């Protein structure tokens, strides 16, 4: 097997949208108040997110043990529910609409690496969850994906491309299995 030299790995172009001090302070706030499973206070988490630049609607519920990379790149609509162990790895903007659900252990993944280059360059793309979208437990939404209005990504599925509105998707990669009737 050929070894790859990653000494030329350079993603200096990436800008997380905040200075090093803000990122460091957020790191500790995230560990103490969000990732910590002993903090059940959703209202405090919403307040902290807003203090760090997130746009958060009314009635948002954030359960314990949630990991959010950069709140200043996050928008959450009214009455959205974020379950235990959700990881929002938002290296790029993430917009979550109204009445959405991110179930336990789900992940919104905005970054990846270009495996075709020996420099393993970072690739970042935003994610959009339109109103009423539901990400099932332990599912992954990949960079650049949109879940259209009321789309559902079922348990342990991986969304690698846009999910059409009012549809259920399942598998890895997720495929449409049927229409969502409401």
Helix locations, the chain, DSSP H? 20-29, 42-51
Reported as a pLDDT band with limits 50, 70 and 90, residue 5 is: very low
What would the two tokens of residue 86 be?
A: 């959700």
Share above pLDDT 90 across residues of the chain, in percent, rounded to a whole number: 82
Q: What is the 3-state secondary structure (H, E, C) of 155-175?
A: CCCEECCCECCCEEEEECCEE
Span 64-123, pLDDT tens digits = 999 999 999 999 999 999 999 999 999 999 999 999 999 999 999 999 988 888 888 888
For the cut 80, the answer to whether the pLDDT of residue 41 exceeds it is yes
* CA quadruple 151, 144, 94, 29: dihedral sign: positive
> Taking all residues of the chain, what is their mean pLDDT, rounded to a whole number?
93
For the cut 80, the answer to whether the pLDDT of residue 1 exceeds it is no
What is the rounded distance in angstroms from the CA atom of residue 45 to the CA atom of residue 106?
18
Q: Report, as an integer, the average pLDDT of 163-176.
A: 98
Q: Report pTM.
A: 0.91
Contacts made by residues 53-58, CB under 8 angstroms, sequence distance 24+: 53/18, 57/98
Reported as a pLDDT band with limits 50, 70 and 90, residue 9 is: low
Tell me, what's the pLDDT at 110? 96
Share above pLDDT 70 across residues of the chain, in percent, rounded to a whole number: 95
What domains can you pick out in the chain, each with its CATH number? 20-179 (2.160.10.10)
């Amino acid at each position: 097997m050929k070894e790859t030299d990653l000494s030329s790995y350079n993603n200096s172009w990436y800008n997380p949208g905040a200075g090093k001090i803000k990122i460091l302070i957020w790191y500790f706030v995230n560990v103490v108040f969000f990732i910590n499973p002993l903090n059940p206070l959703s209202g405090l988490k919403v307040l902290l997110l807003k203090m760090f630049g997130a746009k958060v609607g009314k009635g948002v519920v954030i359960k314990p043990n949630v990991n959010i990379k950069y709140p200043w790149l996050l928008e959450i609509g009214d009455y959205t529910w974020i379950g235990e162990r959700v990881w929002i790895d938002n290296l790029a903007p993430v917009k979550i609409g109204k009445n959405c659900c991110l179930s336990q252990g789900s992940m919104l993944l905005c970054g990846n690496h270009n495996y075709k280059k020996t420099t393993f360059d970072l690739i970042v793309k935003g994610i959009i969850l339109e109103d009423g979208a539901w990400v099932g437990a332990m599912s992954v939404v990949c960079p650049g994906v949109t879940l259209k209005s009321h789309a559902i990504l079922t348990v342990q599925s991986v969304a690698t491309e846009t999910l059409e509105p009012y549809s259920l998707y399942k598998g890895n990669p997720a495929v449409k299995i049927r229409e969502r009737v409401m």
